[in-house]
């Protein structure tokens, strides 16, 4: 392996130097002190409530004016879980103001028009509790919902008898406001 003694000595010297350097490196790593620190990270999510609605039209059908006609429609509300909501119905376009819920009227839109037919919207099938617009007592309140489940809310209408009824197409537009109250914000609105 070695031709001369000199080569052997050089080999041994080189290996000794390498071994010493390696030992120093290992020793200095063993003596090194690692410092660490720690902290915290807050992880959050803001779960917001949401609701949507489908508002169906109310059609009283053919009317002679002799007797009152009752008809129903629905407002379907779907909310994320645990959210309560309120549904308000304004007085309509022909009531003389949105809050004038006791003066709802259909207006003749045919010919010269202008004739009015009184009607009302109610929260119950007994048609005694008028469905209103903004106050706690006259809106429909649902305390809580199951997530993703649609709730069908029935609107009970009554078109009152009238002494003189001019033929024509009578219409009104009622604004529906859905307020879900996990945070008190208005989620959406539509019209009947």
Single pTM value for the model: 0.72
For the chain, the domains span 51-191
Whether domain 51-191 has CATH 2.10.25.10: no
User: According to the model, what pLDDT value does residue 60 have?
Assistant: 96
The 3-state DSSP class for residue 118 equals strand
Which token pair is 139?
Answer: 């809106």
E strands in the chain? 51-55, 69-79, 85-89, 105-108, 116-122, 140-142, 150-159, 170-171, 175-180, 186-191
User: According to the model, what pLDDT value does residue 184 have?
Assistant: 44
Q: What is the pLDDT of residues 36-81, one digit of tens each?
A: 899 999 998 877 778 999 999 999 999 988 899 999 999 999 988 7
Q: In whole angstroms, give the CA distance from residue 115 to residue 93.
A: 14
Contact 102, 130 (CB under 8 A): yes
Positions of the chain with pLDDT under 70: 1-3, 5, 7-32, 113, 135-137, 182-192
Closest of 53, 72, 50 to residue 191, by C-alpha? 53
User: According to the model, what pLDDT value does residue 39 have?
Assistant: 93
Closest of 86, 123, 130 to residue 104, by C-alpha? 130
């Amino acid at each position: 392996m070695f031709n001369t003694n000199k080569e052997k000595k050089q080999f041994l010297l080189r290996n000794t130097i390498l071994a010493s350097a390696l030992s120093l490196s290992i020793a200095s790593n063993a003596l090194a002190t690692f410092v660490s620190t720690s902290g915290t990270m807050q992880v959050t999510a803001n779960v917001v409530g949401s609701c949507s609605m489908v508002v169906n039209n109310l059609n009283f059908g053919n009317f002679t004016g002799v007797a009152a006609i009752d008809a129903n429609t629905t407002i379907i509300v779907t909310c994320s879980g645990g959210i309560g909501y309120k549904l308000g119905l304004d007085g309509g376009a022909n009531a003389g103001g949105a809050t004038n819920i006791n003066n709802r009227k259909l207006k003749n839109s045919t010919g010269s028009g202008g004739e009015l037919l009184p009607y009302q919207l109610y929260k119950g099938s007994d048609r005694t509790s008028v469905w209103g617009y903004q106050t706690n007592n006259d809106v429909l309140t649902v305390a809580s919902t199951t997530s993703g489940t649609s709730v069908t809310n029935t609107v009970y209408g009554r078109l009152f008898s009238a002494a003189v009824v001019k033929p024509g197409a009578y219409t009104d537009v009622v604004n529906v406001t859905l307020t879900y109250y996990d945070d008190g914000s208005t989620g959406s609105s539509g019209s009947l």
